[in-house]
Chains A and B, each alone.
Chain A
Amino acid sequence: MITLSNLQKVYQGESGAVNALDNVSLEIEQGEIFGIIGKSGAGKSTLIRCINLLERPTAGSVVVDGQDMLALSEAELRDARKSMGMIFQHFNLLSSRTVLENVCFPLEIAGINQAERERKVLPLLELVGLADKRDVYPAQLSGGQKQRVGIARALASQPKVLLCDEATSALDPQTTESILALLKDINKKLGLTIVLITHEMHVIKAICDKVAVIEGGHLVETGKVYDVFTNPQSTTAQDFIKAVVNNKVPDSLVEALSAAPIAGGNLVLRLSFFGETTNEPFIAGLIRRFAIDVNIISGNIDHLQDIPYGTLLIELSGTDEAIQNALNYLKVQDLKTEVIGYVARHAHAAN
């Protein structure tokens, strides 16, 4: 649906040229929700604006729905933009127009008459749950309601692509949830391709199918959300994931950890399990099969794209041989086992 190849964007700043995007290539499929995550200044805003050419890349190509965007004339580009909706962090609603008039705006621009505009727009107000607010001005709405108007407005011209520029960053957590649910709903109902940029990993985790991680104008990692979450390659991705998945080793334990085996010591492991294996009672299996105790230090089990996913930090205590056997048993199981280190027995106050 959207193919970005070798995008380059150079700004001429006062202190010389700034590379906002450097050789960025992306492939976004029809019907998927594609998230682009990066810290502020990473170039994600520039990247999403290169899709509808609000920013013109210095080099590279942008192909949307088979159309080479950079080859279009101004008039053709305006037509192409009508098949791409966009929503914004600060909503960008016209304060002088009512909700209905705001949502009608793209159709007015396209030269559609008023009766037809209202006929098309009223179901959209229904879809975003604001049918009763049609004659209210934006100033009287809450942030979440404003973004719903923004979404309805972006959908008015029946676009194939919806671009979301930090759409939930100005909203409180609860409102964010409801807006994300609405986006997911639209994606399913209308089969709309959604591209969103954010600096919040939980947004990616909540609704995206694929994610691209951007840093300093470079794409550092791209993949299915599930794969990036369970096996992040770049440190940037790892940092973002830490914010939503807590699998940190507690500080008190870190101090007592030793990388080398300690005779008669306990073994600390991190287990990561995905999909089907989440249902296996392997801790019970460990205890039953080997003469060891299992102490759970921390853990969480969550769902990513409806696939269960979890991590557990556990401490095994028993004889060295029993611990080794248990470790060998875990390694042949369908889960990821990481040895974190060893602690002397009782050095770490096992709770």
Chain B
Amino acid sequence: MSQDMLMLLIEGLGETFYMVAISSLVSALLGIPLGVILVITGKGGIKESQVFNQTLGAIVNAARSTPFIILMVAIIPFTRIIVGTSIGTNAAIVPLSIAAIPFVGRVVESALKEVDAGLIEAAQSMGATPRQIIMKVLIPEAMPSIILGMTLTVISLIGYSAMAGAIGGGGLGDLAIRYGYQRFRADVMLATVVILIAMVQIVQSSGDYFAHKLNKR
């Protein structure tokens, strides 16, 4: 493999890493509160509100059922407002984040629902505010599950980021399609696939490690 190809691979790796890292961060920052809201407004939640919960749930479901490649194109005007352009790596981060937020929301929702209702009751009996219940009971108790859910999200984002090439986002997936597939460069194809497999392995192993470390049950 030539020096140029190696440079392309490194560049692609950097772009993938950048897209996945930023969109993971954004989806965690917005998806975790979304999951919390879904739980506390749900049936038997500490701020129960069925109408609000069902409306929010419907929006989440709609966002999750839109195929990513369509979502990416459909929200181009929104992407332009946020990052000022509709093509390139930064432009790809917007649809990646939008797709991941409802996913994280649902993952966090199911993690929080596993927290024993008795713990919430105990905190209430001590005079805890809803905010204290969320920050000191729900999230810490669900942390191992939340970490595993985030691991799942990061891995999904690595997969989605391959489609970012459609709007000029670059990354390893784009490299594999343009060089490995369209120019019959089997070596490039193999190299990108090996790097992607390694990335997923590292993410999964770190996720498992931290989830296990935090799990005191």
Contacts and interface: CB of A to CB of B under 8 A. Distances in A.
Given A54-B121, A92-B118, A139-B217, A110 B127 contact: yes
**Main SS of the interface on chain B?**
helix
Interface in A277-320: none
A90 B124 contact: no
B118 A84 contact: no
A157 B128 CA distance: 12
A94 B126 contact: no
B49 interface: no
A152 to B, nearest CB: 13
B119 A157 contact: no
B200 interface: no
A81 B136 contact: no
Contacts of B137: 94
A52 B126 CA distance: 10
A82 interface: yes
Interface in A174-196: none
Contact of B125 (A81, A96, A139): A81
A106 B133 CA distance: 12
**Main SS of the interface on chain A?**
mixed
Nearest to B140: A96
Counting contact residues on chain B (CB < 8 A from A), the size range is: 20 to 34
Nearest to A105: B126
A116 interface: no
Interface in A251-290: none
A86 interface: yes
A92 B126 contact: no
Nearest to B142: A96
A109 interface: yes
B141 interface: yes
Interface in A79-99: 79-82, 84-86, 88, 90, 92, 94-97
Given A96-B214, A106-B126, 20 more contacts: A52-B125, A54-B125, A78-B128, A81-B124, A82-B127, A88-B118, A90-B118, A92-B119, A92-B121, A94-B119, A96-B140, A96-B143, A97-B140, A105-B123, A105-B126, A105-B136, A106-B127, A109-B127, A110-B127, A139-B217
